[in-house]
């Protein structure tokens, strides 16, 4: 029996790690732990992408997810009913629906390996994947990505415009104005 | 020119460089503190004191808070130190040589810097105490604000090389250093570098006004590891600043590794001096300046670099 190559060892490390941490996301009893387990799962997926030769995509996935997961953890803690999200909680609700959804999506994904044609080589040849990706993004697919980018930017601007109208010191259009020092007569509620 | 040193060489090289750098930072910090603040400790004291302090912390009892998240608390310093090692491994040490030079070294380094926010947040969150949590949220605001100007500043340094490999980026500075081609890049990089190490004027997460912030509840080996990781990150950032903006191994007469070390030490001295001379900024100021001033400046910087190259 041949000793397994480093690639094989790393593949199983990342594959098993991704599944286990993904499972732990739903067993965690705290929003922050769940978010960080999800980050670990994404990092393992990034490792798999690097093994596939898509170095840039794998590393960018890890780079982007660091910030995303922190934002997600903070915002979810903000929405928690218990103080500061520090009390234990359950990640899974509507158990029967979740089981059906999980089985259905697993079957849908499990069909894929049987219906696509897999490449003959197990290990991809080293290619200039980053350069190819750049050519694709700024070449044939430019319109798609630029449209998506502008749409997302418009969404961000729209969200900020809708939510930040009323600030602590008055309406946003009037500019921020500090409250006067002398006490004003309170209006009746 | 992309490749990796053999695993053993890379680990030993990075580990030794990190350990020596961390100890030098500890010595330099004490010397500068006595230079600026008086109290005149000599060279010998400055050299021996960090070892004494480390031994004391190793022997000290490790106190915990009652409802702490123990695995997260133990993991955070180790994760932080590992990120510093990954960042340092990307720095070219001699002509065309680095412990690891993947084709996307630029992205690997940026990912290490981005993941620091997870380490710091975990470190502040897991003790389940008010002051560490305060520090963690501060760092969240700080890290999310500097992320975009940081990436833009790094991008301007990669433009002349037309490559994401750090060795290629240094190799492209043979005639003129990036500090001239992208003049705003180095200051932006240094601000971010001090931020990820919670250092000096931009130390918001571990600041004195919240009694040490995320490390307020640390004691014993946990405190030792966290401070070590902070120093290690400072070393990694200074070394990378020398490579990205000050021409890395390029320099007259002397061999490449000498110039790499000299540039790292110069940037480290700048960090240490800033730590003792400049006042700490407020979180609100940092966030507003990052979004409203640093992002436009970083964009101007990219345009300047583009114009220089054309």
Task: State the complex-level ipTM.
Answer: 0.83
For residue A86, list chain B residues with Cβ-Cβ distance below 8 A. 67, 128
Q: Are B248 and B170 in contact (CB under 8 A)?
A: yes
Distance from CA of A143 to the nearest CA of B (A): 23
Spatial distance between the Cα atoms of B148 and B155, rounded to a whole number of angstroms: 10
Spatial distance between the Cα atoms of B205 and B197, rounded to a whole number of angstroms: 9
Least CA distance to A61: which residue of chain B? B111
Give the dihedral sign, CA B233/B81/A73/B212: negative
Least CA distance to A127: which residue of chain B? B103
Flag whether A51 is in a domain: yes
Is the pLDDT higher at B224 or at A76?
Answer: B224
Judgement on whether residues A28 and A112 belong to the same structural domain of the protein: yes
Flag whether A171 is in a domain: no
3-state secondary structure of B32: helix
Q: In the predicted model, is pLDDT for residue A174 greater than 80?
A: no
Distance from CA of A96 to the nearest CA of B (A): 31
Q: B3-4 and B97-98 as β-strands: parallel, antiparallel, unpaired?
A: unpaired
Distance from CA of B255 to the nearest CA of A (A): 32
* Contact between chains at B143 and A130 (C-beta distance less than 8 A): no
CB atoms within 10 A of CB B97: 17
Give the dihedral sign, CA B222/B228/B232/B235: positive
Residues B48, B275, B233, CA angle at the centre, nearest 5°? 75
Average pLDDT over residues A110-137: 76
Flag whether A178 is in a domain: no
Residues A44, B240, B8, CA angle at the centre, nearest 5°? 55
Q: Are B201 and B195 in contact (CB under 8 A)?
A: no
For residue A133, list chain B residues with Cβ-Cβ distance below 8 A. none
Comparing CA positions, the residue from B246, B252, B153, B251 lying closest to residue B195 is B153
Judgement on whether residues A68 and A161 belong to the same structural domain of the protein: no
Judgement on whether residues A20 and A60 belong to the same structural domain of the protein: yes
For residue A36, list chain B residues with Cβ-Cβ distance below 8 A. 72, 118, 122
Q: Domain containing A146: what range?
A: 128-165
Q: Domain containing B260: what range?
A: 3-309
pLDDT at B4: 60
Q: With an 8 Å Cβ cutoff, is A36 touching chain B?
A: yes
Number of domains in chain A: 2
Q: Are A16 and A90 in contact (CB under 8 A)?
A: no
Average pLDDT over residues A107-122: 83
Spatial distance between the Cα atoms of B29 and B48, rounded to a whole number of angstroms: 13
In this complex, the residue of B72, B103, B118 whose CB is nearest that of residue A130 is B103
Q: Are A35 and A69 in contact (CB under 8 A)?
A: yes
Is the pLDDT higher at A69 or at A181?
Answer: A69
The confidence band for A81, taking pLDDT boundaries of 50, 70 and 90, is low
pLDDT at A187: 62
Q: With an 8 Å Cβ cutoff, is A66 touching chain B?
A: yes
Judgement on whether residues A156 and A87 belong to the same structural domain of the protein: no
In this complex, the residue of A30, A56, A84 whose CB is nearest that of residue B104 is A56
Flag whether A83 is in a domain: yes
Comparing CA positions, the residue from B57, B21, B22 lying closest to residue B224 is B57
Q: With an 8 Å Cβ cutoff, is A24 touching chain B?
A: no
Q: Which of residues 71-110 of A touch B (CB under 8 A)?
A: 71, 73-74, 84, 86
* Contact between chains at A36 and B128 (C-beta distance less than 8 A): no
Is the pLDDT higher at A28 or at A148?
Answer: A148
Eight-state DSSP code of residue B5: -
Judgement on whether residues A29 and A104 belong to the same structural domain of the protein: yes
pLDDT at A147: 92
* Contact between chains at A67 and B67 (C-beta distance less than 8 A): no
Q: With an 8 Å Cβ cutoff, is B1 touching chain A?
A: no
For residue B72, list chain A residues with Cβ-Cβ distance below 8 A. 33, 36
Q: What contacts 24+ positions apart, CB below 8 Å, involve B70-74?
A: B70/B126, B71/B126, B72/A33, B72/A36, B72/B122, B72/B125, B72/B126, B73/B122, B73/B123, B73/B126, B73/B127, B73/B222, B74/B222
* Contact between chains at B140 and A74 (C-beta distance less than 8 A): yes
Q: What contacts 24+ positions apart, CB below 8 Å, involve A46-51?
A: A47/A10, A47/A13, A47/A14, A47/A17, A48/A11, A48/A14, A48/A15, A48/A18, A51/A7, A51/A10, A51/A11, A51/A14
Flag whether A179 is in a domain: no
Flag whether A187 is in a domain: no
Judgement on whether residues A27 and A112 belong to the same structural domain of the protein: yes
Judgement on whether residues A99 and A154 belong to the same structural domain of the protein: no
Spatial distance between the Cα atoms of B14 and B88, rounded to a whole number of angstroms: 7
In this complex, the residue of A55, A63, A86 whose CB is nearest that of residue B103 is A55
Spatial distance between the Cα atoms of A140 and A46, rounded to a whole number of angstroms: 25
Judgement on whether residues A86 and A152 belong to the same structural domain of the protein: no
pLDDT at A172: 61
Comparing CA positions, the residue from B275, B237, B230 lying closest to residue B139 is B230
Spatial distance between the Cα atoms of B178 and A131, rounded to a whole number of angstroms: 23
Judgement on whether residues A100 and A153 belong to the same structural domain of the protein: no
Q: Are A36 and A58 in contact (CB under 8 A)?
A: no
For residue A128, list chain B residues with Cβ-Cβ distance below 8 A. 103
**Number of A–B residue contacts, CB under 8 Å:** 59
Q: A166-167 and B100-101 as β-strands: parallel, antiparallel, unpaired?
A: unpaired
pLDDT at A82: 64
* Domain endpoint, select from A111, A127, A143: A127
CB atoms within 10 A of CB B10: 16
pLDDT at B169: 85
Distance from CA of B250 to the nearest CA of A (A): 27
* Contact between chains at B118 and A69 (C-beta distance less than 8 A): yes
Spatial distance between the Cα atoms of A112 and A100, rounded to a whole number of angstroms: 19
**pLDDT tens string B107-143:** 899 999 999 999 999 999 888 888 998 999 999 889 9
Average pLDDT over residues A176-189: 63
Residues 6+ apart with CB under 8 A from A154: none
For residue A63, list chain B residues with Cβ-Cβ distance below 8 A. 107, 110-111, 114
Number of domains in chain B: 1
Flag whether A123 is in a domain: yes
Q: With an 8 Å Cβ cutoff, is B45 touching chain A?
A: no
Residues 6+ apart with CB under 8 A from B70: B64, B126
Flag whether A182 is in a domain: no
Distances (CA, A) of A135 to A128, A141, A157: 11, 9, 29
Judgement on whether residues A16 and A102 belong to the same structural domain of the protein: yes
pLDDT at B1: 43
Residues of chain B predicted below pLDDT 70: 1-5
Is A54 buried (19+), middle (13-18) or exposed (0-12) by CB count in 10 A? Answer: buried
Q: With an 8 Å Cβ cutoff, is A55 touching chain B?
A: yes
- pTM of the full structure: 0.84
Q: Which of residues 76-115 of B touch A (CB under 8 A)?
A: 102-104, 107-108, 110-111, 114-115
What is the percentage of chain A residues whose pLDDT exceeds 70?
A: 76
3-state secondary structure of B104: coil
Judgement on whether residues A16 and A109 belong to the same structural domain of the protein: yes
3-state secondary structure of A118: coil
Judgement on whether residues A62 and A28 belong to the same structural domain of the protein: yes
* Contact between chains at A63 and B110 (C-beta distance less than 8 A): yes
């Amino acid at each position: 029996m041949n000793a397994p190559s480093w690639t094989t060892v790393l593949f199983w490390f990342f594959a098993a790690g991704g599944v286990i941490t993904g499972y732990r996301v739903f067993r965690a009893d705290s929003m922050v732990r769940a978010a960080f387990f999800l980050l670990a799962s994404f990092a393992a997926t990034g490792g798999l992408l690097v093994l596939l030769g898509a170095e840039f995509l794998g590393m960018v996935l890890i780079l982007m997810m660091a910030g995303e997961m922190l934002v997600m953890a903070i915002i979810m803690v903000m929405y928690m009913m218990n103080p500061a999200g520090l009390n234990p909680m359950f990640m899974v609700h509507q158990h029967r629906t979740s089981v059906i959804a999980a089985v259905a999506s697993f079957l849908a994904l499990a069909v894929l390996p049987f219906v696509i044609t897999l490449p003959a080589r197990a290990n991809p040849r080293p290619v200039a994947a980053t350069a190819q990706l750049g050519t694709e993004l700024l070449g044939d697919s430019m319109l798609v990505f630029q449209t998506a980018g502008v749409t997302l930017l418009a969404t961000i601007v729209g969200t900020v415009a809708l939510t930040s109208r009323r600030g602590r010191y008055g309406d946003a259009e009037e500019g921020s104005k500090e409250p006067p020092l002398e006490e004003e007569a309170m209006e009746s509620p | 020119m992309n490749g990796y040193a053999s695993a053993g060489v890379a680990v030993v090289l990075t580990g030794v460089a990190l350990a020596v750098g961390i100890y030098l930072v500890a010595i330099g910090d004490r010397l500068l503190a006595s230079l600026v603040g008086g109290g005149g400790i000599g060279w010998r004291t400055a050299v021996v004191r960090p070892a004494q302090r480390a031994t004391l912390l190793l022997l000290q009892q490790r106190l915990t808070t009652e409802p702490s998240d123990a695995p997260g608390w133990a993991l955070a310093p180790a994760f932080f130190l590992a990120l510093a090692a990954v960042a340092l491994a990307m720095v070219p040490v001699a002509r065309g040589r680095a412990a690891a030079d993947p084709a996307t070294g630029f992205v690997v380094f940026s990912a290490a810097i981005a993941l620091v926010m997870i380490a710091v947040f975990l470190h502040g969150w897991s003790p389940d105490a008010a002051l560490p949590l305060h520090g963690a949220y501060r760092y969240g605001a700080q890290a999310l604000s500097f992320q975009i100007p940081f990436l833009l500043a790094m991008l301007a340094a990669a433009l002349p090389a037309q490559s994401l490999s750090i060795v290629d980026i240094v190799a492209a500075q043979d005639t003129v250093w990036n500090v001239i081609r992208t003049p705003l890049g180095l200051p932006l990089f240094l601000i971010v570098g001090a931020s990820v190490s919670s250092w000096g004027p931009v130390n918001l997460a571990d600041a004195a006004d919240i009694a040490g912030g995320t490390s307020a509840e640390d004691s014993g080996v946990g405190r030792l590891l966290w401070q070590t990781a902070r120093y290690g990150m400072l070393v990694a950032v200074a070394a990378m600043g020398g490579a990205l903006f000050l021409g890395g191994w390029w320099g007259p007469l002397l061999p490449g590794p000498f110039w790499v070390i000299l540039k790292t030490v110069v940037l480290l001295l700048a960090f240490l001096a800033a730590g003792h001379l400049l006042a700490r900024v407020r979180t609100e100021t940092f966030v507003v300046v990052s979004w409203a001033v640093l992002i436009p400046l970083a964009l101007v910087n990219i345009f300047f670099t583009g114009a220089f190259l054309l």
